[in-house]
């Protein structure tokens, strides 16, 4: 009996799964708010040099271009005559200018306060805006590495509770930061917590959901994230002060922390971690909530051990990051997923964190960017359910890359067309994110699932850190950034075709299962392995013929001989 059958015994997709998933999903609404928050808290308003006017009405007006104040320079000597609309600007006359020495005056009609106006991060200090976002992404990266591994060691629930606490505290401290340095430190620690929260939530959801409901469940969490993007636009519009906006998206995590104690630890992880007594209690609790009292009482430690003996016999006492590259099949999955995670995030944040350059209202473009995810994720959900994960992921990545590159050939005057193509590209990347998230949890076995998901998230954060740097290429050739942002998903879309399909497959519980599933036979091309549970015809003999199109065997049985020239198919 596999763990999936224990899950069906205690109710399958019952009341517990619905409530558990709902409570885990609610905090995801604010995940988008933290990831994209700097679109608003670090927005750059219109500005020009602050001019001091003395008692004699003399001063140093800002340098002008077509009678519009320059953002970063002012005249060395007073040139008040240029402010007179009846005076013609002298042609060919070069007036001496100097940098702003007395600060800046900001247009506060849209944002009453941002970190830009708070610490004058404009002109030669404008690079600190992008640096702050990169530091936050670096925190998310470190969180994926550290908290992802700790979750596989200490449990999903423990890390989730810690992540809620850290995010609530660090987010609140960010709102009261007294300097740019302290702001970056708190954002870094908040990014770590957000990463741990996302990874633990994903595993707790997936490991409690029956196979046939996994796709729709992960899709639902994707829709919730999309809802969070739309909510962020409304919150930012209603709260133009960056400190209050930061506080608004951070305080709810104290509430999430309170009810997180109700969550059930993953029984699948408990079994493979050797905590059989706790696993039995959790399964019985789930059975009671699902109205399966009798079935739950039948589960004992002895039955659990005996039924999962095959899985337990192949589980190591501890796993590390090295296990992601130790064996051929896991190594292939690891390399392919790393490329996909990196490129998807790289292009996604290259688009999503550049809202002020679209030439329309920043609130409107945030709303559109969020709204496009709904149809995109509906399509990818249907596609993953009927066509499969691999083809869906590859298709959306390729389409995203082609659309982004197509923007090179659209004149800048056609702003609506350029924005529309960017929106389509962003929607495709969001769909790809949904797909790769589910795909990753299904490809890695239970003992290293969180570690693998954490490393994938790590590569995504590396992409998020590097994304702003690609915009610097615009100083050399304007077409380079879209080429880079478009080429990355195209390459990863091709790489994604090397991954095995997981549609309707049971979650693997051991590394050995994955290795068996990914036996590639030389001859008629690539294929996949079909696994049969104990309830199938495992007692029948299997005949391996050189021209076989479909090969299958029971879990725990040896795979077909390496010389076999058949093509493997998955069920």
Question: pTM above the 0.75 mark?
Answer: no
- Please name the residue that has the structure tokens 């490129």: 343
Total of domains in the chain: 4
Q: What is the CATH number of the domain that holds 253?
A: 1.20.1250.20
The token pair that represents 560 in the structure block: 């077909």
Per-residue pLDDT of 61-109, as tens digits, reads 554 544 556 667 666 665 555 555 555 555 545 566 666 777 777 778 7
Q: Are residues 130 and 99 in the same domain?
A: no
Same structural domain for residues 302 and 451? Answer: no
Q: How many residues does the chain have?
A: 571
Closest CA to 33 of 186, 167, 206: 167
Angle between helices 446-470 and 480-495 (to 10 degrees): 160
Placement of tokens 């090397």 in the chain? 498
Domain final position from 313, 329, 360: 313
Q: Give the model's confidence band at 245: pLDDT under 50 very low, under 70 low, under 90 confident, else very high.
A: very high
469 and 385 in a single domain? The answer is: yes
Give the burial class of 8: count Cβ atoms within 10 A of its Cβ; 0-12 exposed, 13-18 middle, 19 or more buried: middle
| Boundary residue ending a domain (469, 500, 531) | 500
Q: What is d(CA 30, CA 520) in angstroms, rounded to the nearest whole number?
A: 42
Residues 138, 247 within the same domain: yes
Helix ranges (H only) for 93-213 are 115-119, 127-154, 156-175, 180-206
CA distance 499 to 514: 12
What's residue 176's pLDDT?
Answer: 93
> Residue 139: pLDDT above 60?
yes
Give residue 190's Cα distance to chain centre.
15
User: Which of 10-24, 300-314, 392-406, 439-453 is predicted with the least confidence, judged by mean pLDDT?
Assistant: 300-314
Q: List pLDDT tens digits, range 144-167.
A: 778 877 877 788 888 889 999 999
Mean pLDDT of the 325-350 span? 87
Q: Are residues 98 and 129 in the same domain?
A: no
Does 509 map to a domain? no
State the pLDDT at residue 264.
Answer: 82
Question: Which residue range forms the structural domain that includes residue 426?
Answer: 319-500
What is the pLDDT, as a whole number, of residue 244? 93
Specify whether 166 is located in the same domain as 100: no
- 123-151 mean pLDDT: 80
Q: What pLDDT score was predicted for residue 528? A: 41
> Given this model, what pLDDT does residue 525 score?
43
Query: Residues 269-288: pLDDT tens digits?
Result: 787 777 778 878 888 888 88
Residue 539 pLDDT > 50, yes or no? Answer: no
Residue 24 domain flag = yes
One domain, residues 81 and 10: no
Look at residue 412 and tell me if it is in a domain: yes
Residue 440 falls inside a structural domain: yes
**Is 510 a member of any domain?**
no
Please indicate, yes or no, whether residues 325 and 409 belong to a single structural domain of this protein.
yes
More confident residue, 51 or 549: 51
CA–CA separation, 566 and 522 (whole Å): 8
Ranked by mean pLDDT, the top range of 157-161, 464-468, 487-491 is 487-491
Q: Mean pLDDT score of the chain, rounded to an integer?
A: 76
Counting residues of the chain whose pLDDT is more than 90, the rounded percentage is 12
- Do both 541 and 463 map to the same domain? no
- Answer yes or no: is pLDDT of 566 > 70: no
Q: Give the span between the Cα atoms of 452 and 248, in whole angstroms.
A: 32
Say what the pLDDT of residue 93 is: 54
Measured distance CA(5)–CA(432) in Å, rounded: 30
d(CA 141, CA 41): 21
Q: Which position has the higher pLDDT, 62 or 6?
A: 6
pLDDT score, position 44: 80
Could you tell me if 496 and 548 lie in one domain? no
* pLDDT at 298 > cutoff 60: yes
Q: Is the pLDDT assigned to residue 357 strictly greater than 70? A: no
Of the candidates 60, 54, 137, the residue with the CA atom closest to the CA atom of residue 100: 60
Per-residue pLDDT band for 490 (boundaries 50, 70, 90) equals very high
508 found inside a domain:
no
What's the rounded Cα separation, in Å, for the pair 468 and 470? 5
Q: How far apart are CA 305 and CA 60, in angstroms?
A: 82
Instruction: Note the pLDDT of residue 541.
Output: 37
pLDDT digits (tens, 9 = 90+) for 206-222: 778 877 787 778 778 87
Q: Give the span between the Cα atoms of 223 and 218, in whole angstroms.
A: 9
Are 211 and 307 contained in the same domain? yes
Dihedrals phi, psi of 111, to nearest 5 degrees = -120, 120
Q: What is the pLDDT of residue 253?
A: 92
In angstroms, the CA 188 to CA 171 distance is 10
Q: Which has more pLDDT, 470 or 178? A: 178
Q: What is the pLDDT of residue 548?
A: 38
Output the pLDDT for position 88. 56
Q: Are 62 and 105 in contact (CB under 8 A)?
A: no
> Both 76 and 222 in a single domain?
no
Q: Is the pLDDT of residue 178 over 60?
A: yes
Residue 513 lies in a domain: no
Final residue before a domain boundary, out of 269, 292, 313: 313
CA angle 524, 527, 529 (to 5 degrees): 130
Is pLDDT at 553 greater than 50 in this prediction? no
Q: pLDDT tens, 359-375?
A: 667 888 888 888 888 88
């Amino acid at each position: 009996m596999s763990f999936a059958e224990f899950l069906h015994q205690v109710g399958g997709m019952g009341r517990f799964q619905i409530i558990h998933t709902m409570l885990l999903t609610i905090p995801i609404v604010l995940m988008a708010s933290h990831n994209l928050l700097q679109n608003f808290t670090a927005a750059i308003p219109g500005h020009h040099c602050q001019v001091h006017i003395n008692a004699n009405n003399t001063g140093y007006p800002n340098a002008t271009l077509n009678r519009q104040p320059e953002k970063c320079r002012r005249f060395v000597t007073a040139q008040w005559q240029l402010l007179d609309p009846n005076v013609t600007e002298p042609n060919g006359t070069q007036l001496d200018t100097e940098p702003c020495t007395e600060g800046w005056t900001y247009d506060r009609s849209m944002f009453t306060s941002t970190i830009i106006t708070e610490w004058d991060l404009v002109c030669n200090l404008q690079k600190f805006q992008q640096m702050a976002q990169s530091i936050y992404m670096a925190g998310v990266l470190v969180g994926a590495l550290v908290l992802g591994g700790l979750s596989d060691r200490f449990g999903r629930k423990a890390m989730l509770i810690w992540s809620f606490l850290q995010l609530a505290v660090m987010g609140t401290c960010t709102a009261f930061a007294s300097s740019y340095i302290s702001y970056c430190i708190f954002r870094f620690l908040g990014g770590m917590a957000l990463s741990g929260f996302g990874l633990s939530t994903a595993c707790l959801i997936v490991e409690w959901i029956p196979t046939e409901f996994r796709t729709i469940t992960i899709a639902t969490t994707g829709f919730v994230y999309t809802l969070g993007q739309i909510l962020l636009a409304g919150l930012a519009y209603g709260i133009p002060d960056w400190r209050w906006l930061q506080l608004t998206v951070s305080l709810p995590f104290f509430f999430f922390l309170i009810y997180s104690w109700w969550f059930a630890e993953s029984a699948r992880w408990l079994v493979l971690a050797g905590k059989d007594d706790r696993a039995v209690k959790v399964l019985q609790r789930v059975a009671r909530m699902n109205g399966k009292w009798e079935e739950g009482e039948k589960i004992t430690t002895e039955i659990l051990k005996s039924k999962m003996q095959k899985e337990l016999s192949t589980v190591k006492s501890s796993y590390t990051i090295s296990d992601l590259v130790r064996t051929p099949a896991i190594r292939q999955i690891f390399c392919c997923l790393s490329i996909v995670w990196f490129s998807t995030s790289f292009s996604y944040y290259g688009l999503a964190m550049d809202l002020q350059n679209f030439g329309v209202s920043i609130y409107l473009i945030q709303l559109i960017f969020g709204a496009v995810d709904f149809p995109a994720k509906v399509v990818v959900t249907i596609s993953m359910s009927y066509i499969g994960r691999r083809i869906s992921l590859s298709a959306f990545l390729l389409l995203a890359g082609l659309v982004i590159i197509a923007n090179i050939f659209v004149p800048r005057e056609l702003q609506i067309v350029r924005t529309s193509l960017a929106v389509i590209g962003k929607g495709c990347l969001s769909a790809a994110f949904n797909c790769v998230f589910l795909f990753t949890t299904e490809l890695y076995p239970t003992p290293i699932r969180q570690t693998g998901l954490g490393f994938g998230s790590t590569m995504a954060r590396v992409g998020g850190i590097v994304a702003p740097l690609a915009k610097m290429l615009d100083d050399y050739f304007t077409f380079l950034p879209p080429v880079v942002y478009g080429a990355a998903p195209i390459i990863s879309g091709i790489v994604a075709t090397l991954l095995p399909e997981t549609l309707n497959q049971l979650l693997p519980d051991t590394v050995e299962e994955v290795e068996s599933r990914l036996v590639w036979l030389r001859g008629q091309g690539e294929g996949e392995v079909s696994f049969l549970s104990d309830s199938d015809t495992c007692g029948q003999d299997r005949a391996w013929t050189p021209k076989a199109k479909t090969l299958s065997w029971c879990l725990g049985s040896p795979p077909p001989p390496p010389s076999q020239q058949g093509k493997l198919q998955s069920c």
